[in-house]
Structures are given as C-alpha cells and as structure tokens.
Chain A
C-alpha cells in the first residue's frame, strides 16, 4: 500500500497480507486460550479475538522509528508490530527468553528494538507516557509518530483528558487509537459515558478525530495512514475511534453475564477476518488451496513459538533483584 495525495491504493497482495496478519493474531490467541486451560499461561489473559483489524490496520501506517504503546490486551498489537511470536509466547510462559524476560507476562510485553513500549495494565496509564515520548520526539526534532492504543473505558479516566489536552496544547506528533469494543470489562459504554461518541471528546480538545468501522481492516489502515501523514506534516495530534467488539470475555475468568449471547453472535457475523475472507473469495482472489496454505503457515509459526516457549528456561531465581534499578557503574 502507498499513499499519494492522501488517496490510498491497495493491491491484492497487500490485502492478502492484512488477512494473514489478522489470522496470525486470531490463531495465536486461540492457542493462548488453550494453553491457559493447560496452565502453561497463568495470571490474567485478555484475548484480542474480534479486534484484529484495529491493530493490523493501524500498524500498516507506522514506520520502524515510530513508537507504539499498547493496552493490557496487547498480544495483537505486539504481533502486528512485528515482535517475534516466539518472544511473545515465551513471555506468557514466564520464560527468560520472553520479550520482557518473563517479568511482565501477558499484560507487559515490551520490545524496545521494535519501539514497542508495553503492555500497560493501568487503564489510561500509558496515555501520559505516549504524550511524553511524543514531546521528546518534538524536542529532538524527530519526525516520528507515537501511537497509543486504549479502550473506550479509558476515556472515563482523568489521564485521557489530561493527555489529549497536553497533546494538542503542545501540538505533538501522536496518534491516539481508541479501540471501542463497547464494554469496560462488563460495563457498557451506554451506562458509563454521557457522550458515547469518543471522537467528539477529542474534537472538543481540538484534535482531528473521527470514527471508523473497526471490523474493516482496510478502512482502519486507510484512516490511520491519512492521520499519520498529517501528523508527520506537523499538523498535530489525531484520534481514531475504531468501533469493534471482543468475541471472548474480558479475561479468561469472565462469565459474560452483562451481554446476550445473541449480541455476540451478531457481531461475529461482522468479524474482521470473516468479512475480509468473504470479500476476497467473492472476488476470486482467495482459492481454497491458498487459504489452507496460509492457515498451514500460521499454524507452523504458532507451533514453533509454543515449542520455543516450552523448551525455554525460567530465569534463575538468583537473578531476582536484577532490573529493578539500572546497574550501578561504580
């Protein structure tokens, strides 16, 4: 894909790439759920199933030097950003080969080489950090974009409002991405927000902002690319609201008393992978053998990651105190 005069051109190869990226996340998350029941993965596990189009779409707009802040539902962000599946899986196993040496787990995946700054389990906690990193970029005359993902639940936090105000006040190069999946854990947006159109809150702070169909990866990529283009041109921060849905519970402990099974089924019909697959097949761009080849490649990558995580060692307990402070030089 490339942008030219703000018009987006995508070829079939790129659309198939998007399809495979989303499938990688979907299958990875399904495997995580399985591994959780086997107690290979412990703690809280928040699956990204249903929301894949958001991470995959937004990441296409970013360059290697751009930075990403994710949420605690960030496996999808990490994989779409290009972190190795081996390291992400090993992190969830708590192994020393994990992206954060196993210290963080599912909610704290970091990879500085990929400029991926977590993995933050305090709702809205990463927004001020993203503002600060964007401030640092501006102060150092770097033309990089900082991207910060958060759920619609985060907009109820003061840090959301403080961050949007600071970002616009200082005209920072930052893209806020709201993954609006309708529920803050079990609390529906309708019973928690007076203004339920998140992008309007951002507009009130002077940011360019609008909502897109977060189940449509092409639409997400297109919108994110246009925003990143304007951010790189020094036009200030933007907010993209992606309306999406999580097909699984909030975490593995969620019995989902707060929503109807029928609602979930209705959204699944609109699922991002299903939707794109239907389109590719209807246009004769995805033959059955090609689809099975993609599935096989994805399965192989995941199996390899699981094997890597499984055979990796745990960190020696004698290293317990490492990484709390910087190594003293004296």
Chain B
C-alpha cells in the first residue's frame, strides 16, 4: 500500500470513503457528485458504494444546497458539501459568511456547525475568467471559518480527514492543477496537524511562503536558485485560517528575507497580509523589504500564454528572488 502511487483526487476520495464508513452521519452533497461522479471525478464510484441517500446530487442551487448542508450540520449530521469551483461558491457566499461563520457566535456559542465545504480553485486549465480564480483570501478574511489549502497528495488525504473531525466550518480548497498529481502516501502519523505550516525545504538566504497550486512552482524555483548558490527555505502554509505565524516568523528570523508566492490578485492578497504580519513582527530581523509574487490584476484570460502571464510562474519567482538579493549587493 505504501509504495502505491495515488492521485490527489483519489486521496480525497479515500478520505471521504473512510469517513463515510466510520460514521453514518457523514454524507456528500453537491452538483453532479453522484451519477456524474463529480465534476473533477473526486466522488467517482461513491454513489455505487453508498447510494443516492448519502451521495446526494443537488440542483444548481449553490445557496440552497450549501445552506442545506449548514442546516444538516446544525441537525447533527456531518455534511461534506462539494462546490464545483470557487467562482460558483460566490452564489453561496451568503450562506457561508452570514450563516456558517456567524451562527456559533451570534447564538452565544450554542450551535455547532461541523461542515466541510470543498471546492476547486485556481487557474491553469484555460477555463477563463469565471472558472479560474483564486479567492481563498476572501474566505480566509472571515472569522468563524477555517480555510485549508492542501498542496500535496498526503495533505489531500489526511487534511481532509482532519477537517472532517473538526467541529467548525472548514472551507477546503483543491487547486485544479493538483487533481492529477500522484505520489506515494505516507502513514497518517507522518502528516502534521492541519493547522501547521510546513517547511518543505530548508534554506538560509530567503523564506518563500506559499500554498496550494503554487507550491510546486515555488519548489522548482528553489531548485533553480540552489544552482546559483542561493539557499531557499520553502514554507507551505497548508492552513490559510488560522495562519501558523510561528513557523513563518521563525523562518524569517533565520533567513532575514521574505517572498510570498500567491495565485490571488496582488491587491488585497493573502500575500499582502503575510508581508504585513512579517513587517509588524520581524521588522528588526529583516535585511530586505518583504515582497510578493501574485497574479496580475487581470481576470484570468483564456489563451494559454496569457493565462500563464497572469499567474505566478517559476521564472517570475526566480527573478524576484534574484532582484531582491542583487539590490542588497548593489547597496
């Protein structure tokens, strides 16, 4: 089993299957999760195993079925709601922000909402400006929800399991470019807590902080920079709310430099928040201003070359690091 390659989507399916076998309160709800097998085939075959009463196909009513998921959680069930893409989740933003995130608080801590809301996010498949955005930061802005962005097969597998055991509403982002990624699955004990950021690569010259679909690009940039004798530390946030600031600050105290790679748009990005946090908390450790590689301020275009030009790429990351370090040598 441990040597077997598993895809990101299979890892998610495994987590769902395990939870559904372990607890009959768990069920999956969403558009085309049943007969179709899921827009990104995550739930393929689950309808045959568990039947339509637990793998529930819904009409195209994002607000209705996300709200129904929240209501079912209030009623003692453990729903997993799948939304096809983050762009469609905007139709359910009312239910997520006004109900899921608030009801525990505004009821004076009486009502629990243990729900996991999964959705695809991000660009790379030439799906243009209504299927490709990275709006993780919008959700990470909101107290009352947790926001996860697993970037690896292992995290897809085990962070989803952890999310399903959490008593809070969890928004779970699956980058579209990750579904086909394959890897060996470690044992569960080797997967850290879902709230912890992970140092994916240790280094001394600069901290590169990223998450989700940008992790592999950032690691590739780190590999290229290593060939130029630049030692890069790569941190995978994993959890976007809460943020594991301790891991980030420790890294910056060591490397004295920060670059955040974030597929969200530059303005108002999570990267901006991380730069602010580091400026506030690590100012005296910094040898250079905190910088960002984010998406250009353009809705995602359809043609491949333009789509690539909008989102963070390896070359941009490498150039940004080189630029930052060269400024220091010049001065």
Seen from chain A, the residues whose Cβ lies within 8 Å of a Cβ on chain B are 67, 98-104, 108, 110-112, 117-120, 122, 125, 127-137, 139-140, 158-159, 162-163, 165-166, 169, 322-326
What count of chain B residues pass the 8 Å CB interface test? 41
Q: How far is the CA of A110 from the CA of B108 in the complex (A)?
A: 8
Q: How many A-B residue pairs have CB under 8 A?
A: 147
- Residue in B59, B72, B94 whose beta carbon sits within 8 Å of that of A132 in the complex: B72
Q: Which of B36-44, B63-71, B210-218, B244-252 contacts A (4 or more CB under 8 A)?
A: B63-71
Closest chain B residue, CB of each to CB of A96:
B108
Query: What 10 A-B pairs are tightest by C-beta distance, nearest first?
Result: A132-B71, A128-B67, A136-B75, A162-B64, A101-B108, A323-B109, A110-B107, A132-B68, A100-B108, A162-B61
Cβ of A139 and Cβ of B71 under 8 Å apart?
no
Closest beta carbon of chain A to B273's beta carbon, Å: 18
Residue ID in chain A nearest B63 by CB atoms: A159
Asked, given contacts A100-B110, A128-B67, whether A323 binds B72 with beta carbons under 8 Å apart, the answer is no
* B103: nearest chain-A partner, CB-CB: A118
CB neighbours (8 Å) of A104 from chain B are: 106-108
A326's contact among B65, B77, B104, by CB below 8 Å, is which?
B104
Q: Chain B residue with minimal CB distance to A113?
A: B110
Q: Mark B46-71, 1 if CB is under 8 A from A, else 0.
A: 00000001000011010111111111
Docked complex: B77-128 residues within 8 A CB-CB of A: 77, 79, 94-95, 98-99, 103-112
List A contacts of B112 (CB < 8 A).
326
B-chain residues with CB within 8 Å of residue A140 when the two chains form the complex: 75-77
CA distance A261 to B242 in the complex (A): 53
Of B58, B79, B94, B167, which contacts A125 at CB under 8 A? B94
* B27 and A139 contact, CB distance less than 8 A: yes
Q: A103-B108, A135-B72 are in contact. List 4 more A-B contacts (CB 8 A).
A: A110-B111, A122-B99, A133-B72, A166-B58
Inter-subunit contact B68/A131 (CB<8 Å): yes
B54 to chain A, nearest CB (A): 8
A132 to B70, CA, bound (A): 7
Tell me whether B168 is interfacial, beta carbon within 8 Å: yes
Nearest Cβ on chain B to A126's Cβ, whole angstroms: 8
Closest to B92 in A: A128
Contact between B106 and A127 (Cβ–Cβ < 8 Å)?
Answer: no
Alpha-carbon distance A221/B2, docked complex (angstroms):
63
B72 touches A125 (CB 8 A): no
Bound state CA distance, A270 and B106, in angstroms? 36
Tell me, in angstroms, the Cα distance from A98 to B65 when the chains sit together. 31
**Which B residues touch A158, using CB under 8 A?**
61, 63-64
Question: What are 24 A-B contacts defined by CB distance under 8 Å?
Answer: A67-B75, A103-B108, A110-B106, A110-B107, A110-B111, A118-B107, A119-B107, A122-B98, A127-B67, A128-B66, A129-B99, A132-B67, A132-B72, A132-B79, A136-B73, A136-B77, A139-B77, A159-B64, A159-B94, A162-B63, A162-B64, A324-B104, A324-B105, A326-B168
Residues of A within 8 A of B143 (CB): 324
Q: Is the CB of B76 within 8 A of A165?
A: no
Please give the distance in Å from B75's CB to the nearest CB on chain A.
3
A163 & B106 in contact (Cβ 8 Å cutoff): no
B264 / chain A contacts, CB cutoff of 8 Å: none
- Chain B residues 268-289 with CB under 8 Å of chain A are none
Say how far A260's CB is from chain B's closest CB, in angstroms.
35
A135-B108 contact given A122-B98, A129-B70, A325-B144, CB 8 Å threshold: no
